[in-house]
Structure 1
């Protein structure tokens, strides 16, 4: 593999950090205590991060810090201060979601790179071009992006590309999931995803009021691109997901992909022996919705090793086709798909009932639970594999760096040591002069043996030259001390980096005035559109809406509602009124200003920002830019909890049924309607309708209030718009809030 292709490993703890480096990664990505999309990982602190960065850099491993959450105004100062500290520590890059952070990094630093997180949702040429123009050095593409699209963008723009090759997948387009936030008040965009997609749901036919299927209908399989690495040669960084995973997982997956990238032989079952939900090649390589979820279970699936061929009382005979060891953990399937039998193999017997340590034939084990004949048996823990991987967790050096040594020793002068490593040179001399030997002079082998004591360093000796007087005597402790000084000098030289600063450019947003609030309406059916037209609504989003992901640009309409950054580049100089949607996750005044400076005419705020933060945003914006932002706020409608490339109907071999029936997902507490788009993407909507139409007097400075209609009839649409028009006109409440069916969302309080 080309040396430029890096293997990027996840580290959510110090133990995982050492595990990744000891198993051959070229770079690691980690989070701090705050502003990271994995808030529940152990993470790192600014107090101790410098030591880890130095450890990595001395081993030619880069360190990327994730700061990929949405940010509120009151957090910006702390974030900028954190970035400044990271720059001084020589962090190689920061992976970011918020445009304000991108702008700060690229505006202030030449040597600190900004990498666009997958949370931004870049998946086409136009979005990538916006990132490059902002100074972003690398893009982590949305995981749904076809590999050919990435390659074309690489050829067209020359920007670094980072692609996920292994690990957990989100069923929703990254950065667009509001399910955890809206139903559990824990925001995935703030690093606190509650894992709603890993729960049991029932697909229901709402038209016929029937249950279709119960299972883990949204639980994605894990990505495994190990068979496609050769098709990804153009990729600059191969990324493993897993900052929440244990060190053993990080070590094993890193080691396996290191061998693949280096064209070395691997254990064909290596990736099956670590945590997995079964595997998929992912949408990146054209996976079908029918094969991308594991609806049977949301956790470790293991891998099949045999079948139950006989059961007698508490004895179980298993015919194996893969080895089973004493100390392994297995699970046996039952007739109920939501139940299983998990057994630690404490005792193992062969077919003749003789105790054995391992076997790949027929074995006998004990089970206290009733086991079904012909049941499949899966191994979920391989004790031999675990023991082998554990050996790599002891801070061993994966590949030592060669240093050339030249020693000069003349009687009456200090002993001199010169080190050469890569393009660096370091020197050291002994504190005392060399004396003439009385009996046994120091030999070249004596010097080599002491200088070769490099076990606690990342180095090994390459060329070794000694210029030594024949009768010179040098105490061994002085040679050891000389080695320590020279290595310390070399480390210091290799770690030195001068932070290079940019001269900041000022953001120049468009000038807007406040005006009497207007109504905008977003509809999904022709009947809803007709209701809005009959009420003379000027700003209607219907067929003039460009999705954030998988965009299909249109040119017919004057006003365009867009969900992804690519539209800004596509519609540049086309004389359109551009309205950014909530999916851009705008939660602070700096991001508003950046979008405005890029040509966006109206900016819809995130659905994860409360009224107090909205008011602060407007106040801070005016204070800095002496103009008002042109904002839009959604005040009515079902919130889209997930926009997904995955279709549950296709998974259940029901493709096309969406044109006949209506469907929803139901959990223990609520029912979530599903709508199906012409491009076979799906939208899952909140069970409750957002309704803040009577709360708008709490906000001064928003020019447009949007009403969103999804499952409403024409009559319902007409009535809601009409009532809101009247309440705006008369500056009075409509009293339309229904406590049972409506929600205020995060209007009064930000999510966690």
Structure 2
């Protein structure tokens, strides 16, 4: 990779640079130590028991947290705790005491997705920093403004933003931002992926992603299966590596560079952090040019590839290149490309090397299902190459040219290796040993600079003053500063006074501490007697005090009484806390995705019609025709799921078609409607999973809030409990093809076009109906929106019609049916069945039967299906056998 030009439009030079914070992942204690010793400024970690988006990591016990924070602070490193999942209604009561303990443990910040949880934390304490998680889907300045309004001190921006888009956000809003720079990429916007939920009830918004993006898919175009040769991993991005873009990110004022990887091992953490630390230090000491040179060091890049890599790219940071982002030919860890097979003879496999190899290295040979060639791998047993005397001689290692490799037959079968197969080096024991040496052994390798001032005056106590400048970043610029004095005043020396070189030597004996001597200032009377024993005693006393100060948890102001009851009292609720069936008639909202559907549905008289068209230019004419059919029918238009910099005018454009309101799906839409007093319904993508989040969105002006798709039936019923909130303010989606992946990656462009982005793709999305066929044969419809973002919808429709009696009993009033590709006649018949069910909830089962029988729907109850975690896992494995394989061995994960 090469360095990118300055991202700021019109600028000619990079601004003076302050190196950003380097933020590393820690899934366990070994990873924590690896991050510390290799130069991380901060570490983020999760707690066991839920509420962190990496539930499969080892994580840390809550009881360990004070020790974790003391360990980090002792080394001048900050610690952030992830609470970056959605919070369900019954969990709020447990979260308040959890947040209090996290704050009391000395945690520097919490990383949060749930808007209601942000409100709760800020009510508990003003002293615990809140960072808006990338799971909050912040893609524009409006999202940053919302986070700032709620009390967030930092925003982790969505990974789909380019350098230019980050620059645009920074120009609008002066709040620190954090950007991912290394690791696995989710294909879907974080916080907007419902694939694991749809296919098996394992929510990515709850830390249980099943990694369906790493599975093979086929493209069905206009009913015909496309021949994509070896490309089958159509939604599996390569990994992110932005080490050579650090100068540009620093110039934009990015506050923190984040490394993904809480599911990865300590060698990965050590190798990646070490390289990024070197680049940042070069940036601070020598400037952007030297930093870029360090970033592009070939040996360092090999280390990055070997620690974990599916191929390294800049992701979205330099803009969209759909063909580069997703290669499509593999999804697992591949590491370092070693070469191609040139021969197979006598158990020896010839390879034309593109990278170094030696005995003991782990290799994998690409498989090809089309040719019935299996993927195989193993460790190199022997290595030989042709000598000058025209014979094959064993060698210890080779870096280039033709070599022959031998493997144990227990590892692979040479008879199934073919000429032309690609070979990858996936493991290097020598490198692993070197990386482990950076954090093993218990002795600190990374040290804090300690500046000392020694004052020695006759007749006064000896005074030793110590400062740790690096600690100033820990607590709002507060410096770690200690002064110790001798118990007795100094007397005159009766023999040769100690030399300054000897003084430095005595004070520099810091080998058993985490400090190293920096600047030493000596102010003394030459005749003063300075015993070495006294100097040693004072040095030890000073470092001990520094240790105590560094590891003591900071004082935090916490609310003296529980705050949740007061927050709940502010939520709009029913006057009477009962669960009796409401007298208000049920209301039906229908979402249509083309004008023919909309006109057919308008004639049926729903209570609200919502339009979501691929081409926005169709809205004005369509709304006019609908009003000629049903003059009094309220019409809303759906906003896109995502609003990026420069896309704010879309809300004004939508309103030019004169709808009665909007279905709002992003922070920009919230801001627009609040500013311009536009009626709106808050949609599922705003992730309202508890009453505090619902109340926040109602406070923003929403007439109703759509319940999060992560909620099961029981959790929806909890949310609708009238003592929690007014159930008439929550909208329930009764019928839909759940939108699984919502992604900036365009499959149309990547695989149906010679182009690389929307400027040169030729818009195949306008001409073709495309579905992605998964490994069990289900064909999932793929749609593109106005921003060329793709949504993959579940092939099977989800219905809650059988649960209507319980929903009605709990007080739900508003229900929605979302159509997809149904022709007008079919769409009308479906809606009529739901209208009948809403008038008589007892016929839900018969409606379910009719939908299945008459329209071949093959309905599922989806998230309302009351599945246990065990049955969910079985279902996922049945659909996709490779799901659940641990990272580093199988597929690996992506989001933080």
1:165 CA drift (Å): 1.1
Deviation per residue, 1:107-165 (Å, 9 max, x gap): 34333211111111111122222222222221111111232222122121101111111
- Partners of 1:728 and 1:188 lie apart in 2 by 32
- Partners of 1:74 and 1:510 lie apart in 2 by 18
1:684 CA drift (Å): 1.5
Does structure 1 residue 16 correspond to structure 2 residue 31?
Answer: yes
Aligned to 1:369: 414
Deviation per residue, 1:294-339 (Å, 9 max, x gap): 3222111222233333432212333324322232222334555773
1:733 alignment partner, SS class: helix
Residue 385 (structure 1) aligned to one of 431, 455, 460: 431
Residue 677 (structure 1) aligned to one of 784, 793, 806: 784
Aligned to 2:40: 25
Does structure 1 residue 240 correspond to structure 2 residue 279?
Answer: no
Equivalenced residues, count: 747
Judge conservation of contact 1:41–1:244 (CA < 8 Å) in 2.
yes
Q: 1:113 to 1:672 in 2, by over 3 A?
A: farther
What are the residue-to-residue correspondences of 1:528-607 with 2, within 5 Å? 528-543=597-612, 544-550=637-643, 552-553=650-651, 554-555=654-655, 556-607=658-709
Aligned to 2:394: 355
1:577 CA drift (Å): 1.6
Judge conservation of contact 2:157–2:178 (CA < 8 Å) in 1.
yes
Judge conservation of contact 1:417–1:427 (CA < 8 Å) in 2.
yes
1:81 CA drift (Å): 1.5
Does structure 1 residue 637 correspond to structure 2 residue 736?
Answer: yes
1:75 CA drift (Å): 1.2
Aligned to 1:744: 861
Deviation per residue, 1:66-113 (Å, 9 max, x gap): 101011122112222222122222222111110112112333433321
Aligned to 2:589: 520
Aligned to 2:153: 137
Judge conservation of contact 2:201–2:862 (CA < 8 Å) in 1.
no
Does structure 1 residue 397 correspond to structure 2 residue 445?
Answer: yes
What are the residue-to-residue correspondences of 1:248-287 with 2, within 5 Å? 248-263=267-282, 264=291, 265-266=294-295, 267-268=297-298, 269-270=301-302, 271-287=304-320
Judge conservation of contact 1:6–1:237 (CA < 8 Å) in 2.
yes
- Partners of 1:439 and 1:230 lie apart in 2 by 56
1:244 alignment partner, SS class: coil
Residue 238 (structure 2) aligned to one of 221, 242, 253: 221
164-173 vs 77-86, which moves further: 77-86
- Partners of 1:272 and 1:473 lie apart in 2 by 54
Aligned to 1:118: 134
Q: 1:246 to 1:465 in 2, by over 3 A?
A: same
1:173 alignment partner, SS class: coil
Aligned to 1:406: 454
1:583 CA drift (Å): 1.4
1:21 CA drift (Å): 1.8
Aligned to 1:611: 713
Q: 1:456 to 1:634 in 2, by over 3 A?
A: farther
- Partners of 2:550 and 2:379 lie apart in 1 by 49
Judge conservation of contact 2:705–2:729 (CA < 8 Å) in 1.
yes
Residue 60 (structure 2) aligned to one of 28, 44, 47: 44
Judge conservation of contact 1:328–1:383 (CA < 8 Å) in 2.
yes
2:598 alignment partner, SS class: helix
2:734 alignment partner, SS class: strand
Aligned to 1:197: 213
Judge conservation of contact 1:120–1:175 (CA < 8 Å) in 2.
yes
Which of the pair is proportionally richer in strand? 1
1:706 alignment partner, SS class: strand
Q: 1:363 to 1:741 in 2, by over 3 A?
A: same
1:346 alignment partner, SS class: strand
Does structure 1 residue 70 correspond to structure 2 residue 86?
Answer: yes
1:28 alignment partner, SS class: strand
- Partners of 2:44 and 2:368 lie apart in 1 by 42
Residue 248 (structure 2) aligned to one of 231, 251, 264: 231
1:737 alignment partner, SS class: helix
1:632 alignment partner, SS class: strand
Q: 1:615 to 1:329 in 2, by over 3 A?
A: closer
Judge conservation of contact 1:27–1:61 (CA < 8 Å) in 2.
yes
1:542 CA drift (Å): 0.8
545-554 vs 423-432, which moves further: 423-432
Does structure 1 residue 319 correspond to structure 2 residue 352?
Answer: yes
Judge conservation of contact 1:278–1:294 (CA < 8 Å) in 2.
no
- Partners of 2:840 and 2:375 lie apart in 1 by 62
1:732 alignment partner, SS class: helix
1:20 CA drift (Å): 1.2
- Partners of 1:334 and 1:750 lie apart in 2 by 36
Judge conservation of contact 2:691–2:724 (CA < 8 Å) in 1.
no
Judge conservation of contact 2:218–2:225 (CA < 8 Å) in 1.
no
Aligned to 2:630: none
Judge conservation of contact 2:837–2:847 (CA < 8 Å) in 1.
no
- Partners of 1:128 and 1:332 lie apart in 2 by 46
- Partners of 1:629 and 1:7 lie apart in 2 by 46
1:325 alignment partner, SS class: coil
1:362 CA drift (Å): 2.9
Which of the pair is proportionally richer in helix? 2
Aligned to 2:771: 664
Judge conservation of contact 2:466–2:542 (CA < 8 Å) in 1.
yes
Deviation per residue, 1:210-236 (Å, 9 max, x gap): 776662222111112223223222211
- Partners of 1:119 and 1:425 lie apart in 2 by 38
Aligned to 1:463: 520
Aligned to 2:115: 99
Aligned to 1:686: 794
1:300 alignment partner, SS class: coil
1:569 CA drift (Å): 0.7
What are the residue-to-residue correspondences of 1:488-499 with 2, within 5 Å? 488-495=544-551, 497-499=554-556
Residue 467 (structure 2) aligned to one of 398, 401, 420: 420
Q: 1:421 to 1:393 in 2, by over 3 A?
A: closer
TM-score (norm 2): 0.77
- Partners of 1:492 and 1:260 lie apart in 2 by 32
1:38 CA drift (Å): 0.2
1:188 CA drift (Å): 0.9
- Partners of 1:261 and 1:582 lie apart in 2 by 40
Residue 833 (structure 2) aligned to one of 723, 730, 750: 723
- Partners of 1:591 and 1:348 lie apart in 2 by 61
Aligned to 2:618: none
Q: Please, which runs of 5 or more residues in structure 2 have no aligned partner? A: 1-15, 283-290, 408-412, 470-478, 576-581, 613-636, 754-760, 870-896
2:437 alignment partner, SS class: helix
Aligned to 1:299: 332
1:56 CA drift (Å): 2.0
Deviation per residue, 1:382-425 (Å, 9 max, x gap): 344333322212364335322314265979x9865432333443
Q: 1:512 to 1:718 in 2, by over 3 A?
A: farther
1:559 CA drift (Å): 1.7
